Amino acid sequence: MSNALKVQPDLQFVKDLQDVGGEDVKKCYQCATCSVVCPLSPADNPYPRKEMIWAQWGMKDLLVNDIDIWLCHQCGTCSTQCPRGAKPGDILAALRNMTYRNLVKPAAIGRWMSKGMYLPLLIAFPALIFGIIWLIRAAQLGTFFPLVDGEVIYGALFPGDFTIDPLFGLTALFVIITFAVGINTLIKGWNKTVKKTFVLGYKKPTLTQAIIDVVKNEIINHAKFRKCGDEPEDDDKFKGHLTLFYGFVCCFIVTSIVAGAHWGGKLIPFLAPIGHTPMALWNPVKLLANVGAILLLIGLTLLTRRRMNLDPKTSNSSFYDWYLLGVIWVIALTGIGAEVLRLAGAPAFLCYFTYYIHLVSVFMMIAYLPWSKLGHLVYRTTALIYARYVGRLPIDEELVKQDNIYIV
Cα distances (Å, whole numbers) of residue 206 to 28, 42, 186, 213: 39, 21, 20, 10
Element (H, E) at 152: strand 151-152
Distance from the Cα of residue 241 to its chain's centroid: 10
In angstroms, rounded to a whole number, what is the distance separating the alpha carbons of residues 15 and 250? 41
Residues of the chain with CATH 1.10.1060.10: 11-102
For the chain, the straight-line distance linking the first and the last C-alpha, in angstroms and rounded, comes to 25
pLDDT tens, per residue, the chain with 408 residues: 455 656 677 888 888 888 777 888 889 999 999 999 888 887 777 899 999 999 988 888 888 889 999 988 888 888 888 998 899 988 998 899 888 888 888 888 988 888 889 999 999 999 999 999 999 999 999 999 999 988 999 999 999 888 899 999 999 999 999 999 999 999 999 998 886 655 555 567 888 988 998 888 888 887 776 666 555 556 788 889 999 999 999 999 999 999 898 888 888 887 778 878 888 889 999 999 999 999 999 999 999 998 888 877 777 778 888 999 999 999 999 999 999 999 999 999 999 999 999 999 999 999 999 998 888 889 999 999 998 888 776 544 434 444 444 444
**Which residue from 92, 76, 71, 93 is spatially nearest to 37, judged by alpha carbons?**
76
Contact 95, 19 (CB under 8 A): no
Residue 362's closest CA among 178, 164, 174? 164
- Tell me what pLDDT residue 176 has: 95
Asked if residues 33 and 78 have their Cβ atoms less than 8 Å apart, the reply is: yes
The CATH number of domain 11-102, selected from 1.10.3470.10, 1.20.120.340, 3.40.640.10, 1.10.1060.10? 1.10.1060.10
Q: Is the dihedral of CA 86, 223, 101, 368 positive or negative?
A: negative
**Given 3-state DSSP classes, what are the helix, strand and coil percentages for the chain, each rounded to the nearest 5?**
70, 0, 30
Q: Is 77 exposed, middle or buried (0-12, 13-18, 19+ CB in 10 A)?
A: buried
Do 339 and 292 form a contact (C-beta atoms < 8 A)? Answer: no
3-class DSSP assignment, residue 151: strand
